[in-house]
Amino acid sequence: MNHSDHREIGQRLDLFHQQDDAPGAVFWHPRGYALYGTVENYIRQRMRAAGFREIRTPQLLSRRLWEVSGHWDKYRDNMFTLSHGSAEADRVYALKPMSCPGHVEIYRAGLCSYRDLPVRLAEFGAVHRDEASGALAGLMRLRAFTQDDAHVFCREDQVVAEVAKFAGLLNAIYTDFGFDRVAVRFSTRPAVRAGADDVWDKAEAALERAANVAGLNYQHQPGEGAFYGPKLDFVLTDSRGREWQCGTVQCDLVLPERFDIAYIDANSARARPVMLHHAVLGSLERFIAVLLEHHAGKLPFWLAPEQIAVASVVDRAAAYARRCVSALEAEGLRAIADVRDERIGRKVADAVASGTPVVIAVGPKEMANDTVSLRRRDGAPKVMALAEAVRELKAKARS
């Protein structure tokens, strides 16, 4: 087995598994779901701070809606459909392969004035796509996954500022996850496309201006845009030099038209908003696979499923080890007690092997003095007061 493959890492760290009963789907184990939750909550906080409001839209949507969006025509082969009762069109449903149409319907539910724009919506959208079984690959390529899907509905004059702001956010987020090489690709109109040329001219110019305002260094990819509009793709390079396309900013000229959504402009007339499709990570599952391989399973402290293992050196220190865990957990840290009847060397080795970045050893001396012996990855042990260790580790988790 390949030790740097996320499937191998996932098994070794007890994060998740897959089985034939659910091809292209994931069984997240407690440790893996702790990691998943940390990634999700981090993105949630970042998006909230950037002015996005979180929503949730239905999994099953009628054929009628997919006809309006154009997916029924262009994407039906990749959609899981089912009919309910009769086979009439209004009784045929599809599991959503993306969340965009649902977001349009939420935008439509509140008629906007030009003053209310931009409307920024975000969802951790569980989506299903019928990928060929030969294409499935661990968490990298799934049939059931979660997109960090966000949409901005705005006026034309707001596009540059919105895109520039989001591009800045993307770069800050990738840095936090430990990626410092981010390439940006600017994809323009493809041969087969919807929308008139003058509309494409405007959309491409706006995206390019935004990329310049954000100070992005981008490469042109002529003809690689989506059929509904131009886009900026953000490509990460991992520790092994491989490239992963994750973030995207797409300027959509088609969906607002097809769904006939509007806002009321300054002259009380109906006007068409622009729709921007945003994603930071793309698929959460795939991003976690990239993270695991990039860090070779040794995740940074803030991401580690278990951040601290508190190991008792002797049996009678077990209660104190548990007390240390409670003190750490009370401050929001993820800690476990290792009170097995094993030698301390074995406990440290097991914690290191399971990717736990900090090990705290406690014996009779620590018990008597309310101290701990704290050992970081690749560091020498250091004795300090329990309260001080908690403070220090809490600060570390935040930084």
Determine the 3-state secondary structure of 356 from DSSP. coil
All residues at 6 or more sequence positions from 31 whose CB lies less than 8 Å from its CB, including other chains: 13, 14, 15, 305, 306
Bond preceding residue 256 cis, omega within 30 of 0: no
Among 189, 184, 274, 278, residue whose Cα is nearest residue 229: 189
Cβ 150 to Zn ion shortest distance, Å: 8
149 among known catalytic residues: yes
Q: Which stretch binds Zn ion (CB under 5 A): 1-9, 54-62, 63-71, 96-104?
A: 96-104
Residue 256: its H or E element: helix 255-258
Cβ 248 to Zn ion shortest distance, Å: 9
Among 100, 242, 249, 252, residue whose Cα is nearest residue 185: 249
- How many residues touch Zn ion under the rule CB under 5 A: the total is 2
Cα–Cα distance, 118 to 206 (Å, whole number): 16
Of the pair 32, 229, the CB lying nearest Zn ion is at: 229
For residue 179, what is the DSSP state?
A: -
277 among known catalytic residues: yes
Cβ 66 to Zn ion shortest distance, Å: 14
Catalytic residue among 63, 96, 120, 151: 151
Cα–Cα distance, 230 to 57 (Å, whole number): 26
Catalytic residue among 46, 112, 147, 189: 147
Residue numbers 199-228 binding Zn ion by CB under 5 A:
none
151 among known catalytic residues: yes
Catalytic residue among 100, 112, 251, 324: 100
Q: Is 336 near Zn ion (CB under 5 A)?
A: no
Q: Which stretch binds Zn ion (CB under 5 A): 99-107, 160-168, 186-194, 370-378?
A: 99-107
Backbone angles phi, psi at 207, to 5 degrees: -65, -40
Q: Is 139 near Zn ion (CB under 5 A)?
A: no
Place of tokens 């990298």: 140
Do 275 and 254 contact (CB within 8 A), yes or no? no
29 among known catalytic residues: no
Q: Is 277 near Zn ion (CB under 5 A)?
A: yes
Q: Is 100 near Zn ion (CB under 5 A)?
A: yes
Q: Is 375 near Zn ion (CB under 5 A)?
A: no
Cβ 255 to Zn ion shortest distance, Å: 8
Q: Which residues bind Zn ion (CB under 5 A)?
A: 100, 277
| Positions marked catalytic | 100, 129, 147, 149, 151, 231, 277
